């Protein structure tokens, strides 16, 4: 009869494999956490620029240029948070409210309409709420 070769033990391979798998899971968790932190930081920086553009539109200082800036910032925000369709809707609402106010100012409205200002502030608040960046009072 032909002799059967002894089998090699898999004990060390299995134990090392478990350690490697746990290390890989830890690396994945830290990578996901870093990605979330960078996404949050990017969102907050773009949102602060958006706030500045909205402030310029409210004051009426170069509203057309501020409206173009707002459009660019909202596009960047939509790219950062592309997975959430609510962001697109909130960004569109904010841009439309800002555009309406800018058109009113361009048409010769020396005094900003209170209703349009309120509409702009509410749209801005909805965007912040949708992003989850509302400060708790």
In a domain, 35, yes or no: no
Q: What is the mean pLDDT of residues 73-101?
A: 89
Instruction: Tell me: pLDDT of 79 over 90.
Output: no
pTM above 0.75, yes or no: no
Rounded Cα distance, 113 and 62, in Å: 17
Task: Give the domain extent around 53.
Answer: 44-131
User: Which domain CATH number covers 49?
Assistant: 1.20.120
Say if residues 88 and 130 touch (Cβ distance below 8 Å): no
pLDDT tens string 36-67 = 888 888 888 888 999 999 998 888 778 889 99
Supply the pLDDT for residue 60.
79
What is the distance of C-alpha 7 from the center of its chain?
56
What is the distance of C-alpha 98 from the center of its chain?
20
In a domain, 122, yes or no: yes
In a domain, 99, yes or no: yes
Count of domains forming the chain: 1
Supply the pLDDT for residue 18.
64
**pLDDT grade for 137, boundaries at 50, 70 and 90:** very low
Instruction: Tell me: pLDDT of 129 over 70.
Output: yes
The proportion of the chain whose per-residue pLDDT surpasses 70, expressed as a percent, equals 79
Q: What is the mean pLDDT of residues 6-31?
A: 69
Rounded Cα distance, 108 and 60, in Å: 11
Supply the pLDDT for residue 40.
85
In a domain, 51, yes or no: yes
Q: Environment class of residue 66 by beta-carbon count within 10 Å: exposed (0-12), middle (13-18) or buried (19+)?
A: buried
In a domain, 102, yes or no: yes
């Amino acid at each position: 009869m032909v002799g059967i070769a002894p089998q090699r033990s898999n004990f060390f391979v299995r134990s090392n494999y478990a350690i490697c798998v746990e290390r890989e899971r830890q690396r994945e968790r830290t990578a996901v956490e870093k990605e979330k932190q960078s996404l949050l930081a990017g969102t907050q920086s773009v949102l602060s620029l958006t706030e500045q553009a909205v402030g310029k539109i409210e004051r009426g200082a170069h509203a057309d240029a501020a409206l173009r800036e707002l459009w660019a910032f909202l596009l960047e925000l939509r790219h950062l948070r592309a997975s959430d369709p609510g962001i697109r809707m909130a960004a569109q609402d904010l841009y439309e409210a800002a555009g309406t106010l800018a058109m009113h100012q361009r048409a010769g409205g020396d005094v900003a309409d209170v209703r349009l200002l309120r509409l702009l502030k509410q749209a801005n608040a909805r965007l912040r709420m949708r992003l989850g960046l509302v400060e708790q009072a």
